[in-house]
Protein backbone atom coordinates (compact mmCIF):
# COMPACT_ATOMS: atom_id res chain seq x y z
CA UNK A 1 0.00 0.00 0.00
CA UNK A 2 1.89 3.07 -1.22
CA UNK A 3 -0.62 5.36 0.48
CA UNK A 4 1.27 4.79 3.75
CA UNK A 5 4.46 6.31 2.38
CA UNK A 6 2.44 9.13 0.81
CA UNK A 7 0.77 9.84 4.17
CA UNK A 8 4.23 9.93 5.76
CA UNK A 9 5.21 12.50 3.13
CA UNK A 10 2.16 14.61 4.01
CA UNK A 11 3.16 14.47 7.68
CA UNK A 12 6.67 15.61 6.71
CA UNK A 13 5.16 18.62 4.89
CA UNK A 14 3.19 19.43 8.06
CA UNK A 15 6.27 19.08 10.26
CA UNK A 16 8.25 21.33 7.90
CA UNK A 17 5.46 23.93 8.17
CA UNK A 18 5.73 23.79 11.98
CA UNK A 19 9.45 24.61 11.70
CA UNK A 20 8.74 27.68 9.55
CA UNK A 21 5.73 29.00 11.48
CA UNK A 22 5.30 27.35 14.90
CA UNK A 23 1.73 26.37 15.71
CA UNK A 24 0.18 24.03 18.26
CA UNK A 25 -2.20 21.90 16.25
CA UNK A 26 -3.37 21.12 12.73
CA UNK A 27 -7.14 20.85 12.61
CA UNK A 28 -7.72 20.30 8.87
CA UNK A 29 -5.55 19.28 5.93
CA UNK A 30 -6.75 19.87 2.35
CA UNK A 31 -5.13 17.41 -0.02
CA UNK A 32 -5.52 17.52 -3.80
CA UNK A 33 -5.44 14.08 -5.39
CA UNK A 34 -5.52 13.69 -9.15
CA UNK A 35 -7.91 11.16 -10.66
CA UNK A 36 -5.01 9.53 -12.54
CA UNK A 37 -2.59 9.53 -9.59
CA UNK A 38 -3.28 5.95 -8.52
CA UNK A 39 -4.00 7.10 -4.95
CA UNK A 40 -7.08 5.57 -3.33
CA UNK A 41 -8.76 8.29 -1.23
CA UNK A 42 -10.15 5.92 1.43
CA UNK A 43 -6.79 4.17 1.83
CA UNK A 44 -5.17 7.62 2.12
CA UNK A 45 -7.62 8.58 4.89
CA UNK A 46 -6.83 5.39 6.81
CA UNK A 47 -3.07 5.85 6.44
CA UNK A 48 -3.23 9.56 7.30
CA UNK A 49 -5.03 8.76 10.57
CA UNK A 50 -2.43 6.11 11.43
CA UNK A 51 0.62 8.20 10.53
CA UNK A 52 -0.50 11.39 12.29
CA UNK A 53 -1.24 9.70 15.60
CA UNK A 54 0.69 11.43 18.43
CA UNK A 55 1.79 14.25 16.12
CA UNK A 56 0.79 17.90 15.75
CA UNK A 57 -1.83 16.64 13.25
CA UNK A 58 -3.33 13.98 15.53
CA UNK A 59 -7.10 14.03 15.00
CA UNK A 60 -6.91 16.43 12.05
CA UNK A 61 -9.66 16.19 9.47
CA UNK A 62 -8.46 15.20 6.00
CA UNK A 63 -10.36 16.94 3.21
CA UNK A 64 -9.67 15.41 -0.21
CA UNK A 65 -10.13 17.52 -3.31
CA UNK A 66 -10.35 15.32 -6.41
CA UNK A 67 -8.79 16.86 -9.51
CA UNK A 68 -9.87 15.53 -12.91
CA UNK A 69 -7.58 13.78 -15.33
CA UNK A 70 -6.85 15.39 -18.65
CA UNK A 71 -4.73 14.70 -21.65
CA UNK A 72 -3.67 16.03 -25.02
CA UNK A 73 -4.88 14.01 -27.99
CA UNK A 74 -2.24 14.06 -30.70
CA UNK A 75 -4.77 13.02 -33.36
CA UNK A 76 -7.40 15.66 -32.47
CA UNK A 77 -4.96 18.31 -31.25
CA UNK A 78 -7.37 18.89 -28.33
CA UNK A 79 -7.20 18.78 -24.55
CA UNK A 80 -9.66 16.10 -23.44
CA UNK A 81 -10.88 14.67 -20.13
CA UNK A 82 -9.29 11.37 -19.13
CA UNK A 83 -10.81 8.91 -16.67
CA UNK A 84 -8.07 6.28 -16.88
CA UNK A 85 -4.48 6.00 -18.02
CA UNK A 86 -4.10 4.51 -21.50
CA UNK A 87 -7.77 5.11 -22.28
CA UNK A 88 -9.14 6.26 -25.59
CA UNK A 89 -9.85 9.81 -26.66
CA UNK A 90 -13.51 10.66 -26.03
CA UNK A 91 -13.58 12.75 -29.23
CA UNK A 92 -11.94 10.54 -31.87
CA UNK A 93 -11.49 7.16 -30.17
CA UNK A 94 -7.72 7.23 -30.73
CA UNK A 95 -5.13 6.11 -28.21
CA UNK A 96 -2.49 8.77 -28.79
CA UNK A 97 -3.13 10.60 -25.54
CA UNK A 98 -0.45 12.36 -23.56
CA UNK A 99 -1.44 12.92 -19.92
CA UNK A 100 -1.36 16.61 -19.03
CA UNK A 101 -3.11 16.71 -15.65
CA UNK A 102 -4.61 14.70 -12.83
CA UNK A 103 -1.53 12.69 -11.83
CA UNK A 104 -0.46 14.91 -8.95
CA UNK A 105 -1.02 14.89 -5.23
CA UNK A 106 -0.27 17.92 -3.09
CA UNK A 107 -1.05 19.51 0.23
CA UNK A 108 -3.15 22.51 -0.73
CA UNK A 109 -3.85 24.06 2.65
CA UNK A 110 -3.49 23.55 6.40
CA UNK A 111 -5.88 24.88 9.03
CA UNK A 112 -4.01 25.35 12.27
CA UNK A 113 -4.74 26.45 15.82
Instruction: Please report, for the domain that includes residue 82, its CATH number.
Output: 3.30.2320.80
Based on the structure, what is the number of domains in the chain? 1
* Whether the predicted pLDDT of 70 surpasses 70: yes
Where residue 38 falls (left for φ over 0; alpha for ψ -120 to 50; beta otherwise) is left
The string of pLDDT tens digits covering residues 17-67 is 999 988 899 999 999 999 999 999 999 999 999 999 999 999 999 999 999
**How high is the pLDDT of residue 1?**
56
Average pLDDT rounded to a whole number, residues 6-27: 94
What's the mean pLDDT when you consider all of the chain? 95
- Going across the sheet that includes 105-112, the strands are 61-67, 26-34, 105-112
> Domain containing 108: what range?
3-112
Helix axes 41-51 and 3-20, enclosed angle (nearest 10):
50
**How high is the pLDDT of residue 113?**
87
**How high is the pLDDT of residue 22?**
87
Sign of the Cα torsion 18, 24, 30, 34 reads: positive
pTM equals: 0.85
Amino acid sequence: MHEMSLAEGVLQVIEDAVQKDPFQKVTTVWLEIGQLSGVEPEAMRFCFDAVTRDSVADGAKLEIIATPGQGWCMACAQTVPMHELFGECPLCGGFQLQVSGGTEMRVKELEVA
